[in-house]
Amino acid sequence: MGDVTKSWLTLMLVLFLVCTIVVVGAINNINNVPAVIVFGDSSVDAGNNNYIRTIARSNFKPYGRDFAGGIPTGRFSNGRIPTDFISEAFGLKPIVPAYLDPMYTISDFAVGVTFASAGSGYDNATSDVFSVIPLWKQLEYYKEYQSMLFTNLGERIAKETISDAVYLTSMGTNDFLENYYMRLSRRRAQFNLDQYKDFLLEIAEDFVKKIYELGARKISLGGLPPMGCLPLERTANFMSGSKCRESYNEVARDFNDKLGLLVENLNKQLDGIKVVLSNPYPILMELIDRPSSYGFNVAGTGCCATGMFEMGYMCDEYNPFTCKEADKYVFWDSFHPTDKANRIIAQRMLNTSLSHFLI
């Protein structure tokens, strides 16, 4: 065998070993996230509302028609929601189950669980609108979950799971659209708009500090989407040609900026914590402004029913207007993205804010 051939083989062996080390390192990084733990609203509720008395539900067709087995789980989508895709990308299970779902046990929840409730928000008064699970109750469920973890996994592994898990939150939209902006809202009698933003930010800060005290160290605070471009809000804006409500989008952008400052402050205040802002506004705005660039045809209305105002029980399997191919739509109903859009949103978060948890 010639010297040139030997050198080439040696080089290829070295490159193979380097690539192996890089791949194994990447896998180990992913496996350093033992669980995904979720708090929030309908954007991340996998069916908790199925087990409480509320009309804020989606455990019926055509919801879930593109989920595995075509099952309407209670997710407000035709398929999966962002946290499902995030869990899968972290090397965990392809879905994050609802805490109240009796199909699952602590063995399932040990690698992922959502306490989220559709219709909820930071503000307790928001949860009262549809009688759903408020944030304080989600926190109580989390404490209960911790106790079960210790019993099931033992103290050492439970503590490692709690500290190494990624905590995802997604809420705030309902606080504005289903609470503050509604007629006869008592919050508008108490606060002007800027004061209400600060009120919500104080709750967000308090929440992070509480789960930090309980052991959480990797936390993602979810920002607001372009609220004024949700099909429901565009429909309500018919006097302006059903354009996006820019005033609502401005509120979302400003709140996200303030949330970003809160994240900076929390990282300075709390030892050993890593808080990030996962802001869905830019990527969802891209999907709305340039749908064809992502393979969508429709961004102004949803797939289900007319797509203009229906969600929940108004979006049922008997409506003749429901589209045949949800992948052509950015929105599934008048408020929530499709499975395809959720995948794209989750991927953007993984490439940006959530990538910090893989280092």
What are the residue numbers of the active site? 42, 333, 336
Buried-exposed string 216-231: b where 16+ CB fall within 10 A, e elsewhere: bbbbbbbbbbbbbbbb
Which strands make up the sheet holding 36-40, listed edge to edge?
112-114, 36-40, 166-170, 218-222, 274-278
Give the distance, in angstroms, between the CA of residue 12 and the centroid of all CA atoms in the same chain. 43
What DSSP letter does each residue of 7-61 carry, written as one string? HHHHHHHHHHHHHHHHHHHHHHHHHT---EEEEESTTT-SSGGGGSS-S----ST
DSSP per residue over 75-134, as a string? -SSSS--HHHHHHHHTTS-S---BTT-TT--HHHHTTEEE---TT--SSHHHHHHTT---
| Strand, helix or coil for residue 298 | strand
The CB-side HSE value for 291 (13 A sphere, CA atoms) comes to: 17
Tokens of 8: 């080439």
Q: Which residue has the tokens 């099931």?
A: 152
Compute, in degrees rounded to 10, the torsion defined by CA atoms 173, 175, 178, 181: -100
Distance CA 7, CA 277 (A): 49
C-beta separation of 180 from 196 below 8 A: yes
CB 345 within 8 A of CB 86: no
Sequence-separated (6 or more) residues with CB below 8 Å from residue 92: 33, 35, 36, 111, 112
Tokens matching residue 48: 């908790």
Residue 324 burial class via C-beta count within 10 angstroms: exposed 0-12, middle 13-18, buried 19 and up:
exposed
Amino acid found at 41: D
